[in-house]
Structure 1
Amino acid sequence: MFIAFVNGQGTGFFTGFTRLCKGLAVVLVAGHIVVQILPPAVSYLALIPAKTIPFAWNLITAGYIEQSIYGVVVSTLFLLIMGKLLEPVWGSKEFLKFIFIVNCLTYVCVFITTIALYYIMRQENYLYMPISGFQGILSGFLVGMKQIIPDQELPLFTIKAKWLPSIALLLAIAVSFFTPDSTAYLPTIIFGTYTSWIYLRYLQRKPEAKLRGDPNDDFAFSTFFPEFLRPVIDPIASIFHRMLCGRSDTSTEAHGYTLGGAPLPGSDPIEASRRRERGARALEERLAAERLAAARSAEESKKDASENV
């Protein structure tokens, strides 16, 4: 869907999916089939906090298990579409690494939060509710779009890509007030959004640019919030920035992230801007190639039709 929005056309909507995304889609579908045929498998594959120790592998498997048919359809569709946008820019290896890390961090955070809620509220249902789904990673994909094409406007809704994560979070929170099982998906969406931002902001490596993270001010934590809230958010965010970077200076010049007090090579705003420009350029080239291929296909179809006549 987002490819069609960026294109402004529907051309190539169901074509051009990457091999990696097709493989991951098969994993999602297979996981859904397994838990439908063998319902007890949910106890071993989904995140059930009371059973996570010793079944620690469910911190990894939970993200790839969709328990409802609606979940598997939506997750598979969005994986294929957003993967077609992000994978060519990041590369297959980094794309897969992003999915694995964000998935693990999301469910670790969900596990810790659930245990904390149990000790605070003393409700055992928090411990035995099976939590699973790909929605945390899908939220992370929206953050990736915010990073790569922040000012790209989606024609159908006239919404810029940089607001997609915030809008998705807001909608998920609003819907949670009307759905009794919101605790099964809302935490993964929230943690998926912010763990993916932490990874992209501070940890993602780009060997060709010698850059770690994205120090651009347009990708700061406060950009997830409206302008009038940023003066309140920035001082709070700066505390976590110092914890992650080991620096007290929060100015743009200080956003060259450090390891042991030494700036990482290439971690300056200019280099970050160049990287984003390269990503946008790669995206435009891919979309142009898809449009050209579709136009050639249409011409060949017309030519074949005229010859048959």
Structure 2
Amino acid sequence: MMLPSSASSSSSSPAGGNSFFTGFTRLCKGLAVILVGGYVLLQVFPSAVTYVALIPARTIPFAWNLITAGYVEQSLPGVVISTIGLLLFGKLLEPLWGSKEFLKFIIVVNFLTSICIFVTAIILYYITRQESYLYTPLSGFHGVLSGFLVGIKQIIPDQELSLFFLLKIKAKWVPTIVALVSVAISFFTTESVSYLPTILFGIYMSWIYLRYFQKKPETGLKGDPSDEFSFSSFFPEFLRPILDPFASVFDWALCGKSETYSEMRGHTLGGTPLPGSGPIEASRRRERGARALEERLAAEKVAVTGSTDVISHGNAAENV
């Protein structure tokens, strides 16, 4: 579990732990109910997995599984991690993006991730001729969870996060670390096909959406063309000169003819400044993210202090 490093002191007490797991949004609670409900459905009706999970060989007649697969967990650890991750990440991202944009992000990333997994499974089948790529039920919310990490990288890249209460790393490196760890684990397990493509495509699809297509209501512009959120920013500095030429091809292919994106890129390259565009908007977004995080931590600290005062006053009254 990842926590902001400044929250570690408050989360160490019982009151702090309780306050950390409160204040979830109504949308996140509703989505959590869907995740839990999907898991319960599969436990009561196991045959339902053939209709709601992504089975590439059955996707053509059952095309809706491209949508439903992302909201169905097949294991208890999966539904627990997905539910907790949704509630905690949503607590930070939804107030900044807005409920409508937050839900749109989940729907788009889930759908695009499912399409990529479907295409990859078909390609792997034709290469290897292994039917397991066609008939293995694939599902899970971990693609969107990986996408949330990209959103946090965009908003608070330099915020230190506590990983499992032990390691402190900057938020901008979390998606990369998750991807590397997932790839490393895949060499030691035969079930990597059930999670690795979802995590990798979830990270990549969420970056594409946030980089090129997410609309900013305050400016009317789309995407985030700042250098701090470029594709090469996911990799160490020494690799960026190699990756930048390839990334420029994606820039041209996805938004090379987009007037809005071209204007925003023009600003970053020294063109005429646009209100709310380019690095200025990216800086404002990071400031809003950091401010929202500080306000949430301050509120939790106040809650912890208030609870401590109540307990201390109660003890004093008993002593009297």
Q: TM-score, normalised by structure 2?
A: 0.88
Alignment-derived partner of residue 282 in structure 2: 272
Instruction: For 1:297 and 1:137, locate their aligned partners in 2 and report how far apart those are by CA, in whole Å.
Output: 35
Residues 134-182 of structure 1 deviation map (CA, whole Å, 9 limit, x = unaligned): 1101100111111111011125412111000000000000111111111
Contact 1:110 1:188 survives alignment (8 Å): yes
Equivalent of residue 240 in structure 1, options 245, 250, 256:
250
Alignment-derived partner of residue 47 in structure 1: 54
Q: Is residue 7 from structure 1 mapped to residue 14 from structure 2 by the alignment?
A: no
Alignment-derived partner of residue 30 in structure 2: 23
Equivalent of residue 82 in structure 1, options 78, 86, 89:
89
Equivalent of residue 293 in structure 2, options 279, 283, 307:
283
Equivalent of residue 216 in structure 2, options 190, 193, 206:
206
- 5+ residue gaps, structure 2: 268-272
2:182 alignment partner AA: A
Alignment-derived partner of residue 116 in structure 2: 109
Equivalent of residue 79 in structure 2, options 51, 64, 72:
72
Q: TM-score, normalised by structure 1?
A: 0.91
The alignment's C-alpha RMSD in Å is 2.1
Contact 1:21 1:83 survives alignment (8 Å): yes
How far the C-alpha of 1:58 sits from its partner, in A, is 0.6
1:126 alignment partner AA: Y
**What does residue range 1-309 of structure 1 map to in structure 2 within 5 Å?**
1-3=1-3, 5-9=5-9, 10=11, 11=16, 12-155=19-162, 156-246=166-256, 255=265, 266-309=276-319
CA gap 1:5/1:20 in 2 versus in 1, 3 angstroms: farther
How far the C-alpha of 1:297 sits from its partner, in A, is 2.3
2:66 alignment partner AA: L
1:45 alignment partner AA: V
Higher RCO (Cα < 8 Å, 6 or more apart): 2
SS at 1:158 equivalent: strand
Instruction: For 1:18 and 1:28, locate their aligned partners in 2 and report how far apart those are by CA, in whole Å.
Output: 15
- 5+ residue gaps, structure 1: 258-262
Residues 237-278 of structure 1 deviation map (CA, whole Å, 9 limit, x = unaligned): 100011112169xxx986259xxxxx9974322122122212
126-135 or 281-290: bigger deviation: 281-290
Residues 2-23 of structure 1 deviation map (CA, whole Å, 9 limit, x = unaligned): 3453523312232222222222
1:21 alignment partner AA: C
Contact 1:201 1:219 survives alignment (8 Å): yes
Instruction: For 1:256 and 1:211, locate their aligned partners in 2 and report how far apart those are by CA, in whole Å.
Output: 14
* 4+ runs deviating over 6 angstroms: none
